[in-house]
Amino acid sequence: MKILILSCNTGEGHNSSARALKKAMDSQGIECEVQDTLALISTDVSKNVSDVYVYSTKSSLFEKAYRIGEAVSSWENSVKSPVYMANKLYAKKLYDKLTEGGYDAVICVHLFPAEALTALRRKARLDIPSVFVMTDYTCIPFLPETELDRYVIAHEDLVEEFVEKGIPREKIVPLGIPVDEERYGTRLDRNAARALVCDEFACEPSSEASRWFLIMGCSMGFGNMGGLISTLLQRIQPGDRVICICGRNEVQKTSLLEEFGYDGRFLATGFTDRVPELMDASDVLFSKPGGITGTEAVLKNIPLVHTSPIPGLETYNARFFHYHNMSYSTSDPLMQAEVALRLCNDASWRERMVQAQKRNSNSRCCRDITELVLTLTRK
């Protein structure tokens, strides 16, 4: 058995889901490869598209493009979108990859390769099972014009939305969003996690009663992060801690340390593979409503405050989480801080949020998707 997982470098979330699926399949002895789809054209194309995506999320460009996409997606399916036409151009390269690799099935965690696979299917050149995995809590524009065998979506409550947008009901499988089950499906004891974090980042240990606030998504348009940090530092106690993960945005990390580094309760770090332990150590997580980070937080059962979304699909993510009581969503930094402090002090509200997260998540999503793919290959 040999599986190809197709992703794209437009944000790290898609690649994270691809790696999680590969890890689950590797553990079952299934040969699996993750491919950056646009790199089939060239690494320069992949990098340029990634750079444009990151830039668009920090401006109004992404929202405008998303709204245009929603409008175009409402047209009849006989009218093919510019997204389909663009991805159709490298379909031959993808066909060569599939045939030369001898794959038994293909999984897409991004729209672009799904469009290219659709072009192959319309020419009767796709003869292996194909599965699309949605990594957000909504049906994205242009997805209904694709023609794959199955569509894995985040939650059963989203089925009707996908059907209304044009995805055949019989192809929809609500299994969740794939994240690393080994790292996010279990929790460390809070004190043990804090000891590990303090050792990793060379910070002073804090008392067991102290409150830790974790801020993620800082490198991709978090919103008024300075306002949130300032408010928290004014409201929290001497032994509490505020931790910001800035990813690979060194400029932002430096800026934050210049502004808040005087306060010993504040810590800013760049890219780290200790995110699961940081979640375990923290009392509340602040994050923009990305589908992957939200799913990781839900599996960790950490009280969650969603901040300013990237307009478009993250708006729908925030709405879904808020409606299902899995998070509280607000773009106001004063309210963000107030909600976080209340979650620390109100055990009843905190427990209701955690229980809602448990009801609406699937810790074995990667294994379920693996079984789905294996079932399709047997037909």
Give the per-residue pLDDT at 54. 58
Q: What percent of the chain has pLDDT over 70?
A: 90
Count the Cβ atoms, other than its own, within 10 Å of residue 101: 14
Give the per-residue pLDDT at 12. 76
What is the C-alpha separation between 211 and 283, in angstroms, rounded?
Answer: 6
- pLDDT tens digit string along 207-231? 888 999 999 975 555 568 889 999 9
Give the per-residue pLDDT at 159. 98
Give the per-residue pLDDT at 47. 72
Full-model pTM: 0.91
Give the per-residue pLDDT at 225. 83
Give the per-residue pLDDT at 55. 47
Which range among 67-81, 279-293, 303-317 shows the weakest confidence by mean pLDDT? 67-81
- pLDDT tens digit string along 143-165? 999 999 999 999 999 999 999 99
Whether 104 shows a pLDDT value over 80: the answer reads yes
Give the per-residue pLDDT at 127. 92
Residue pair 206/194 in contact by the 8 Å Cβ criterion: yes
What is the C-alpha separation between 150 and 172, in angstroms, rounded?
Answer: 6
Whether 134 shows a pLDDT value over 90: the answer reads yes
Q: CA 214, 176, 355: angle at the middle one, nearest 5?
A: 55
Tell which residue, 141, 123, 69, 129, has the closest CA to residue 103. 129
Task: Say what angle helices 111-122 and 91-101 make with each other, to 10 degrees.
Answer: 80
- Locate 186 and state its tokens: 């279990």
Tell which residue, 154, 107, 148, has the closest CA to residue 370. 107
Return the SS3 of 197.
Answer: helix
Give the per-residue pLDDT at 246. 87
Write the DSSP symbol of residue 42.
-
Q: What is the CA radius of gyration of the chain?
A: 21
Domains of the chain plus CATH, in order, are 2-181+363-378 (3.40.50.2000), 186-359 (3.40.50.2000)
User: Measured between alpha carbons, how far is residue 196 from residues 191, 192, 205, 269 in Å?
Assistant: 9, 6, 10, 15
